[in-house]
Structure 1
């Protein structure tokens, strides 16, 4: 157990409540957890995952369907908060909505899907067999047969993919009284509640379902979720409408949860990508659904384009879907998986890597996280891509052009202070880190966009900013109860803090930025260098 750190400055005690150790990788890790499994394994299992490197817990509400499921979520949240308080280490919590999704109905065991055999898919409830599958469809959507028949009439070859393309069906006919008749082109053992994707057709489904609103209401009532991952994010209007809904339900001018986009079909992934990323706090690369959009051969291109736009806007990206899928059953990743995680971190500069089945239902959840940390530490050593983007971005910014990252140009004064502080910490001998003080997390977001070589140890007294900064690669958030309100006291506080956290020792130095007393709530206007002595 770790205790909060108390610093006595000028006769008053200031508390460091939670922090992410700088010994952790610059890349952060999101683990999908199955509440019932974690509750059965006990608190020590969760504690080990955090110590191994898990930063954010994802709860997939596609599997939260009953009151019993929701009760399990509440118990898991209680456990997460207990472990966080015991370790004084941040554990962000992500609510991942169902979205307008299609899924096979729940059933026990598995069914064998054999290549070449016929199978019928039918919306609604019923007993699933190897000859007929029943599926959940988005609420309020009643035109599935019409949309499929139109695609069929236009000569489109419609494929239906189950469980991220592991099982592939070719649509042969649509019989309204019976279902969607298909031929199995790629078989396998199929468990219940697996996702379904349609390729070769446009399904005009509703953007936000009543189930989505119910899940969001659950998260708002509970109050412990920090992030809302929006499945099938199709446009910035969808994002803004959910933000407005959350603000209307609460008392804060800010939405309670930070939205993370999941553009899982063509409208979000291709047509409206720029606007979707601009409207959200972060963006997820849903590689299973992206692969269904254009086929496996186009997945690397879609991933590269999505991350290119995220970098341009200074938004963190999350690499997701079967990142280490082999490790659901094997203690080792495949060579392709090792290459994927290296490429995501070294070339695409993702901020986070997310695991689904690997940690929710897999045989080796702790080993998955340990393996990912080892891969990240190696990938972070390869800086050729990062050096290129860093040099290009900073040259353009310093020359006064619009810049590669939009919000840096919009807040040029603060961005200039942050960049100057980062560059001093990078090039001056004896400097170890950039340590901004921020109320909103904006300075840390700016720093993240400048590709800093030094760690960014970002201090804040607000929980919203603390968990927001957990999204940024290379940023190590620190939550404090308060800071001294005099310059001498603030400098003494920083010197003590960086020593306690192992950021800098006596004789070393840091740079910092902060808002001075008369400059407004969180308008960073001051930059300093501080020697620890």
Structure 2
């Protein structure tokens, strides 16, 4: 059985060549992440085109995820190199651009002094350094170092106790989004989401067509956790971004939030991605720690649709080895256990318009489990039907056929789904014959095996999913031969 959970790889300096991208794909990469916090548009265009060429060459779609930077606050630069801060040192944050040294540095958000107050905490470099705000004077913030360390250029700044008014979409994000739409990215990840309104604002900037990228809301702020239900409902999936989340909130709360968010996403039929520091030690070591292996496995036990590698593949010394190891851990975890089928519950409880297609998906999965069929197959244009089937977490193989190039790539992120490019079929006999051909070609099934086919009838007209057909491979050919006699 093929691996069910998908692997997302961040493409960076260590993996941006076409040869390296193909190595990642052969090792198990399903989705390539373009991190727009770094690199130029031309850099990203080149990587985008390489990923598409690699996918075409290996005969397997690779989805492309554009990760917008968001309103990340960063320090300025230290012209004379990194500086060391010790606990108890005074340190000033300036609103105006000025070179940094041991006494202070500028910050990228000019209104910061208006939105913080004495007593607030400032976390720097993912919480490795911590400052305490003592006073605010005009264009400067006076702080005292609580936890010291090394400071270097453009480190990230978090203020967990402050409700900043930053929009989740910066001017840079809007420019990057327009570029991503021009390229044809499959997913857009929105950083520092606080409410469903942030997701709606991003969707408003996208075309109202099936070709529009799907939105992944990144859960990395306390406000996002508070509004998690509405955010998942508004988006197409979520990413539990544990780096900033673990800085903005107590680290001991992150595992529980991860489990809750994954379960809720599954209940609502949405994609869930678990990210950050999954195999962090493999940036410099050919093997992960035992704790990292357990972390990946536990995300699989939680029911995550995908796991993500960041620095491990973007700039690490062992990017291909990291993907190979991730693949092995997932396969082993999926042999041990699988999450409960909970995906239909939320839709039924909320009385959505999707209840009928959801009920069809549930019935198909229940029947597949009861009858122990070889595979569940479905035909889709938008990708909705395989997403509903995916949310049930069936143990059977799932194959999704689509004539839409965008949907084909998008489904590369769907848990357990093998996407297959297919022309539009105009009658049920054509559908069955095509399913049989592909199942045999891909060695998914052989004559005599039973499969379930989920489709909309009449076929070829974009009819919503309304039919489940039980079929034995070879039966269609025998019937056709009988007709000829």
Unaligned runs of 5+ in 1: 1-21
Aligned partner of residue 63 in structure 1, secondary structure: coil
Aligned partner of residue 45 in structure 2, secondary structure: helix
Q: Cα offset for 1:308?
A: 2.9
Q: Cα offset for 1:109?
A: 9.9
**RMSD across aligned positions (CA):** 2.4
Correspondence for 2:480:
none
Please list the CA deviations of residues 100-121 of structure 1 after superposition, one character each: whole Å capped at 9, or x if unmatched.
2112346789625343144333
Correspondence for 1:31:
9
Q: Does the CA contact (< 8 Å) of 2:192 and 2:221 recur in 1?
A: yes
Q: Are 2:135 and 1:173 equivalent residues in the alignment?
A: yes
Task: Tell me the TM-score normalized by structure 2.
Answer: 0.90
Count, aligned residues? 473
Instruction: Tell me, in whole angstroms, the C-alpha distance in 2 between the residues paired with 1:455 and 1:373.
Output: 18
Correspondence for 2:469:
528
Q: Cα offset for 1:217?
A: 1.1
Q: 1:102 aligns with which of 73, 93, 102?
A: 73
Instruction: Tell me, in whole angstroms, the C-alpha distance in 2 between the residues paired with 1:255 and 1:84.
Output: 19
Instruction: Tell me, in whole angstroms, the C-alpha distance in 2 between the residues paired with 1:320 and 1:126.
Output: 34
Q: Are 2:325 and 1:421 equivalent residues in the alignment?
A: no
Aligned partner of residue 374 in structure 2, secondary structure: strand
Q: 2:332 aligns with which of 373, 378, 384?
A: 378
Q: Are 2:111 and 1:143 equivalent residues in the alignment?
A: yes
Please list the CA deviations of residues 401-431 of structure 1 after superposition, one character each: whole Å capped at 9, or x if unmatched.
x6566688543332232222223322325x2
Instruction: Tell me, in whole angstroms, the C-alpha distance in 2 between the residues paired with 1:105 and 1:460.
Output: 48
Instruction: Tell me, in whole angstroms, the C-alpha distance in 1 between the residues paired with 2:63 and 2:239.
Output: 16
Aligned partner of residue 286 in structure 2, secondary structure: coil
Aligned partner of residue 435 in structure 1, secondary structure: strand
Correspondence for 1:456:
398
Correspondence for 1:4:
none
Q: Does the CA contact (< 8 Å) of 1:148 and 1:201 recur in 2?
A: yes
Aligned partner of residue 100 in structure 1, secondary structure: coil
Correspondence for 1:198:
159
Q: 2:267 aligns with which of 306, 312, 337?
A: 312
Q: 2:444 aligns with which of 503, 510, 518?
A: 503
Instruction: Tell me, in whole angstroms, the C-alpha distance in 2 between the residues paired with 1:88 and 1:123.
Output: 52
Correspondence for 1:334:
289
Instruction: Tell me, in whole angstroms, the C-alpha distance in 2 between the residues paired with 1:207 and 1:103.
Output: 15
Q: Does the CA contact (< 8 Å) of 1:119 and 1:184 recur in 2?
A: no
User: Kindly tell me: are residues 321 and 186 of structure 1, through their superposed partners in 2, closer, same or farther at Cα, counting changes over 3 Å?
Assistant: farther
Please list the CA deviations of residues 432-457 of structure 1 after superposition, one character each: whole Å capped at 9, or x if unmatched.
11011111111111111212111211
Task: Tell me the TM-score normalized by structure 1.
Answer: 0.83
Counting only pairs closer than 5 Å after superposition, residues 94-493 of structure 1 correspond to structure 2 as 94-105=65-76, 111-116=82-87, 117-137=89-109, 142-149=110-117, 152=118, 157-187=119-149, 189-222=150-183, 224-247=184-207, 252-254=208-210, 256-270=212-226, 272-346=227-301, 348-383=302-337, 386=339, 389-390=340-341, 393=342, 410-429=353-372, 431-480=373-422, 482-493=423-434
User: Kindly tell me: are residues 516 and 73 of structure 1, through their superposed partners in 2, closer, same or farther at Cα, counting changes over 3 Å?
Assistant: same
Aligned partner of residue 436 in structure 1, secondary structure: strand
Please list the CA deviations of residues 43-70 of structure 1 after superposition, one character each: whole Å capped at 9, or x if unmatched.
2111000111111111111124xxxx22
Instruction: Tell me, in whole angstroms, the C-alpha distance in 2 between the residues paired with 1:146 and 1:54.
Output: 44
Instruction: Tell me, in whole angstroms, the C-alpha distance in 1 between the residues paired with 2:236 and 2:382.
Output: 13
Q: Does the CA contact (< 8 Å) of 1:114 and 1:184 recur in 2?
A: no
Q: Cα offset for 1:483?
A: 4.1
Q: Cα offset for 1:520?
A: 5.3
Aligned partner of residue 4 in structure 2, secondary structure: coil
